[in-house]
Amino acid sequence: MLRLFSTIEACVMASWKMGFEIELLAPQGRSRRDLAAAVARDQGGTVGVCFYPQSEPSLVPGLPVFENLVLGFDVRDRGGERIALLVDDLTIRDGLDHNAPPLTGWLRLLSDDARLLSLAQHHCDPQAGLETVLEPVAALWGTPVEHAGGGITKVVDQSARSIAMAAPLPGERERPCEIISPPYGDDPEPALRKLLMAAHALDFSVPAEAALHIHYDAVRLRDARALARLIKALDQFGDALRSLVRTNPRCVRLGPISDSIRALARDPDFQHLDWIKAQQRLIECKPTKYADYNFFNLAHDLPGKQTFEVRIFPGSMDVSEIMRNARLFAAILEWACGLGTDGLNSGFPGFLATLKLPPEDLDQWHSQLPDQAQGV
C-alpha cells in the first residue's frame, strides 16, 4: 500500500513544475554576493551581476510606491543554465543596522515609473559606479547626469521631469538574500539541498519577516472549471491552511482572496467558459501579486512566469519542511484539476484526506491541525 501511494505522490509532484523563492539573511560582514560565490564554487558555476526589479511603499504623497532595481547575482552552471538568482528583498528589515554606511559598489536605481526602470535595466551596467551607471539613460533623453548630493545621481528629461536616480545602498541592504530558483521539472529536493547547505555553511539565517514562496506551472490551471474549484477551496479553507502551514505573522504583502475573484468562482456560468473568455474575466478582477495566492501571472500570461504562486508558507532553511509544503499544494492543485472527490463539504480534515499525499505527510499535517480547523 505504501509503495502504491508513493508512486501516486511522485506522479502528482511530476505534474507540477515548480520554482522556489527562499528569503534568507546573511550574517554581519557577509552578503548575498558571498553566497552566490560559494554556490558557484561548490557547483562549478559562474556568477554574473544583474539588476532585479522590486517595489517598496513610498512616503511621498500621491506616490504609492517607489520602483527599484536592486543588485542581483546570477549563478549559472557550465552550460549556462541558471542554478539560482540571489537578490534583495525590501521587506526584510529586522536585524539590519539601518545606520550602517553603504559598501563600495553597492547601489540601486529608483524611479516612480516601472516602465522607465525596465528601460534602465536593459541599458545600464550593474557593475558601473554611481558616477556613470545612469549615463546610458541620460544618452537616451539627451540630458546630462546630474549630482544631487549624498552620492546620488539622477537623470531628468528636457522638461526637468524625473526619469531615474541612482543611490548608494546603506543600512546593510547587502545582507538580505532572496534565493530565486529556476523552475524544476524533476524532484527539486537535491538542488534545494545544495543551495541551503551553502547558506548554512556561511551562517545565513531565516529573517524575522521571512516567507517561502512557491510558483507552480499554471498550464493545467488554464481551465475555468479547475480554477473555480481551486479558488473555492482556498477561500473556504484559507484560514485553516494558514494555521496549518504556520504562516509567519510578521510576513507582509499577504491578504485574502479578493471579493471579485471569490464571486468569479461562484458564478456558475464562469465554469463553462473557454479559457480565453475565462482569462478575460479573471483579468477584470484585477488580481494582485501581494496576496496569499497570486493569480496575477496566470491572468496576464507573463512571459516565462505563467505560474500560480503560493505565498503563505513561513520562511525556512529546512529542506524537508519546504518539500512537505510543496507537496501539499501540488496535491491541492491536482485535486482542483479533478483527480479527487469533491471534499468541500466534509470539513478541513476531510478535505486533507482527499488529497494524494504520502502517509507520513498526512500524519504530519494532522498533528498540526489547529483545534478550530477540526470541524471547518
- Tell me what pLDDT residue 14 has: 63
- Tell me what pLDDT residue 62 has: 61
- Tell me what pLDDT residue 3 has: 43
**How far apart (Å, rounded) are the C-alpha atoms in residues 145 and 152?**
10
Confidence of residue 2 (pLDDT cuts 50, 70, 90): very low
Which residues, including other chains, have CB under 8 Å from residue 326's CB and lie 6 or more apart?
Answer: 13, 18, 20, 188, 214
**How far apart (Å, rounded) are the C-alpha atoms in residues 293 and 214?**
10
**How far apart (Å, rounded) are the C-alpha atoms in residues 376 and 363?**
18
Confidence of residue 285 (pLDDT cuts 50, 70, 90): very high
- Tell me what pLDDT residue 63 has: 58
pLDDT in tens, 109-139: 999 899 999 999 999 999 999 999 999 999 9
Mean pLDDT of 6-13: 56
Confidence of residue 1 (pLDDT cuts 50, 70, 90): very low
Q: Is 246 exposed, middle or buried (0-12, 13-18, 19+ CB in 10 A)?
A: middle
Distance of CA 250 to the CA centre of its chain: 16
The CA-atom distances, in angstroms, between 141 and each of 129, 133, 136, 166, 328 are 20, 15, 9, 16, 50
Do the strands 146-149 and 18-25 form a parallel or antiparallel pair, or are they unpaired?
unpaired
Which residues, including other chains, have CB under 8 Å from residue 87's CB and lie 6 or more apart?
Answer: 32, 52, 54, 70, 71, 72, 73, 177, 178, 180
Confidence of residue 4 (pLDDT cuts 50, 70, 90): very low
From the DSSP assignment, how many helices (H) and strands (E) are in the chain? Answer: 13, 12
pLDDT in tens, 291-327: 999 999 999 988 888 999 999 999 999 999 999 999 9
Residue 73 pairs with which residues in a beta bridge? 49, 86
pLDDT in tens, 210-268: 999 999 999 999 999 999 999 999 999 999 999 999 999 999 899 999 999 999 999 99
Q: Which of 34-38, 81-85, 212-216, 343-347 has the lowest mean pLDDT?
A: 343-347
Distance of CA 115 to the CA centre of its chain: 21
Residue 294 phi/psi, 5-degree rounding, is -100, 105
Residue 276 pairs with which residues in a beta bridge? none
- Tell me what pLDDT residue 223 has: 96
With a cut of 70, say whether residue 66 has pLDDT above it. Answer: yes
- Residue pair 130/183 in contact by the 8 Å Cβ criterion: no
- Tell me what pLDDT residue 163 has: 95
- Tell me what pLDDT residue 294 has: 97
- Tell me what pLDDT residue 79 has: 96
With a cut of 90, say whether residue 97 has pLDDT above it. Answer: yes
Of the candidates 1, 5, 13, 6, which has an alpha carbon nearest to the alpha carbon of residue 334? 13
Give the highest mean pLDDT range of 290-294, 345-349, 365-369: 290-294
- Tell me what pLDDT residue 69 has: 96
- Tell me what pLDDT residue 303 has: 81
Integer Rg of the chain from CA: 22
H helical segments located in the chain: 2-14, 32-43, 114-123, 135-141, 189-201, 224-236, 238-245, 259-266, 275-284, 296-300, 319-336, 347-354, 359-368
- Tell me what pLDDT residue 35 has: 98
- Tell me what pLDDT residue 338 has: 85
> Containing H/E element for 153?
strand 152-156
Average pLDDT value over all residues in the chain: 92
Helix (H/G/I), strand (E/B), else coil: 310: strand
With a cut of 60, say whether residue 5 has pLDDT above it. Answer: no
**How far apart (Å, rounded) are the C-alpha atoms in residues 155 and 138?**
6
Please write down the HEC assignment for all residues of 56-85.
EECCCCCCCEEEEEEEEEEEECCCCCEEEE
With a cut of 80, say whether residue 367 has pLDDT above it. Answer: yes
pLDDT in tens, 268-284: 999 999 999 999 999 99
The model carries a pTM of 0.92
- Tell me what pLDDT residue 56 has: 75
The CA-atom distances, in angstroms, between 101 and each of 55, 89, 104, 152 are 22, 19, 9, 14
pLDDT in tens, 136-190: 999 999 999 999 888 999 999 999 999 999 999 999 999 999 999 999 999 999 9
Helix (H/G/I), strand (E/B), else coil: 164: strand
In this structure, the number of other CB atoms found within 10 A of the CB of residue 161 comes to 10
